[in-house]
Homo-oligomer: A and B are copies of this chain.
Amino acid sequence: MKYMNACFLWLSIWTVATTQAHAQTIQLRSPDHHLKLNAVIAANGGLTYELHRKGIAVVKPSVLGFVLSRPEVRLDQFELLRVDSSLVDNTWKPLWGEVSTIRNFYTEVKLSLRQKTSPGIRLNVVFRLFNDGMGLRYEFPEQPGFVHFTVKDELTAFSLAGDHKAFWIPGDFDSNEYSYQTSRLSEIDATKAAAQEKDIAVTAVIGPHSVQTPLMMKSGNGLYINVHEAALINYPALNLTLDPASLTLQATLVPDVTGNKAWLQTPFSTPWRTVIVSDMATEILASKLILNLNAPPPADDYSWIKPQKFLGVWWEMHVGKATWQMAGGKHGATTDNTKRYIDFASRHGFDGVLVEGWNAGWEDWFGNWKEEVFDFVTPYPDYDLQELTAYARSKGVKLIMHHETSGSVTNYERRLDTAYRFMKYHGMETVKTGYVGKIIPRGEHHDGQWMVNHYNRVAEKTRSYRIMLDAHEPVHPTGLHRTFPNWMANEAARGSEFNNAPTLGITPEHTTILPFTRLMGGPMDFTPGLFHMQLNQFDPARSTRVRTTLAKQLALYVTMYSPLQMAADLPENYEQYPDAFQFIKDVAVDWDDTRILEAEPGDYITIARKAKGTTSWFLGAITDENARELNVKLDFLDDAVTYEATVYQDAPGADWDHHPELYQIRQVKVTRKSQLKVPLAPGGGCAVALRKIK
């Protein structure tokens, strides 16, 4: 035994003798001592942990361990070999982000364990406590006789202290594009919720009590609790299955085609399992815990990575003005139409133009589990890429590449190098990938280990090609944009395109939940900025509509963080509202500072951000289907500076259902002493640009 009963500032270890044996408890405290984590090795070797915040249980005693299929053993009874602990406090600067400096401040304890039964596998469990939450991971160190191993199940559990209110989507191996549900934990019925969905391309629902992470919860005694994972590398995604009786969430990993979860080799560390907790919802949104649990990128020159705003030949396909495919006479990605977007982007100062449907294959791309679909280098004959490359260059705009894989990932993988060389040859530096369809290799899921490795491989390869990446339909993000700073955004949730989905669409509250769930893992390419809410513009039969006000669409550029922000609507729709469009033109996409002013999941969010390298601030406030009054102090503004605030707000009578496009713009001088009071319409919002005037 290389440890002893000890008590550091942040660590205590004690032993409780029983008649037969003794239980050992290792207690870790967060730097501010508000969080307390007990890891307990029971007399029989069983390993559990529990987490308290200021004396209130966040996670009750919960099991840790594994079931392996190779070797066929259950890893859940251990002897403790050694305890190591440390306190770390440093800061780092992200290449881009919500803030310019991030503090990484935590206590850590590592338990070196050995399985009590044969073959005596060694396993470490590492706990980190930040002031705002916990990370835990398993390490399988190199050891004789245990090299390759296969995970059948991970036993990690989160036993909750109450029947919390939960913001959840059904657990699923293939899709995270569900509409969020709000219910007590005990009321979760994922099967029923999933059955309402008709507009998701591919789903694989786990069962009635399984939900996805990030799972956001609010306890009866006022705690906000978020469960997710960080640094998902070479491992399947985490889902959680609830035992309604014990209110315990059990890790449920996405299986591969053989029913196993992960094929591994020592040394290996699992992703971190994270619990972020606070009595203030704003602190959940402000947490940098997940980013801190990811590794920094390898040292290199990343000056080529640029946050950007872009337009796209995209929404016009969603609303029936155009098609991705060339056949049929309504092809969107023509040379002329693309020039129109380039002209518009250039005129209004956008960095890029995404063009979907540029390449041959869309006539037969979906639904047939077909391997050879796109080759990523063959434009349609009416899309003159040479000409457009030159034209975009002359206008100071970059074309953004689109690689829809249709789920045929073997096909994409074997073409990656060719596809990226083709992009670079044509001056393109950003790619939007897509994974709509059943995965090939057949039998693999979007969120299994094989696909996780694929997404990460694409991130690494694009990084090596100096290409910025925006993945649609990938696994949920887990902060890997720290390690791959070129991996700037993901969809990985129900994005704005679902405004066009006939069945459930996007509810007014959806955007007040996403920052507490999907965005905990990283930036989302939500594609805000819709100005034309009735989607029958080109197809009178279409009854779908965007359920926000126009002002809320502007506010999303602040509340929905992404360094890649699309202005999703059509140029002609922006031209109808040039004064409102000015906000999208002005708003920054990279920030020195971010303040979460107020937030309640499912209800409202107000965020202010300071544009990178400037004195300008931007504020966004959104509400759900309920009207509300924004009433915040502007005390985040720079001292002794007067700002001109341009306030884009819902006009009287506006609401998402009847008059979404009623807005007004007013200008007012403010200082850090000012109070901002703005009425928010049902489904509405408010955007404010704050420019220093003296």
Contact = CB atoms under 8 A, between A and B. Distances in A.
Interface of A: 147-148, 256-258, 263, 265, 364, 368-371, 410, 413-414, 416-418, 441-444, 450, 453, 457
Ranked nearest first, the 4 interchain pairs of A and B with the lowest CB-CB distance are A441-B441, A148-B368, A413-B414, A257-B443
B256 A442 contact: yes
A364 B450 CA distance: 20
Contacts of A265: 364, 368, 370
A591 to B, nearest CB: 36
A473 B410 CA distance: 21
A442 B69 CA distance: 16
A148 B263 contact: no
B258 A364 contact: no
A442 B369 contact: no
A260 B423 CA distance: 37
A681 B437 CA distance: 63
Contacts of A444: 441
9 contacts: A263-B368, A265-B368, A371-B453, A410-B410, A410-B441, A414-B457, A417-B417, A417-B418, A441-B441
A147 B366 CA distance: 13
Nearest to A449: B371
Given A147-B368, A441-B441, A443-B443, 17 more contacts: A148-B368, A257-B442, A257-B443, A258-B443, A263-B370, A263-B371, A265-B364, A265-B370, A410-B410, A410-B413, A413-B413, A413-B414, A414-B414, A414-B457, A417-B418, A441-B442, A441-B443
Copies in the complex: 2
A147 B364 CA distance: 10
Nearest to A369: B263
Contacts of A410: 410, 413, 441
Report which residue of A148, A416, A442 has the largest number of chain B beta carbons within 10 angstroms of its beta carbon: A442
A616 to B, nearest CB: 44
A409 to B, nearest CB: 9
Nearest to A444: B441
A417 B265 CA distance: 27
Nearest to A412: B414
A258 B413 contact: no
A418 B444 CA distance: 26
A468 to B, nearest CB: 21
Contacts of A450: 371, 441
Nearest to A461: B414
Contacts of A257: 257, 441-443
Contacts of A369: 263
Nearest to A439: B441
Contacts of A453: 371
A442 B258 contact: yes
Contacts of A416: 414
Nearest to A409: B410
A204 B88 CA distance: 53
A244 to B, nearest CB: 34
A410 B257 CA distance: 15
A256 B265 CA distance: 27
B148 A370 contact: yes
A453 B453 CA distance: 23
Contacts of A256: 442
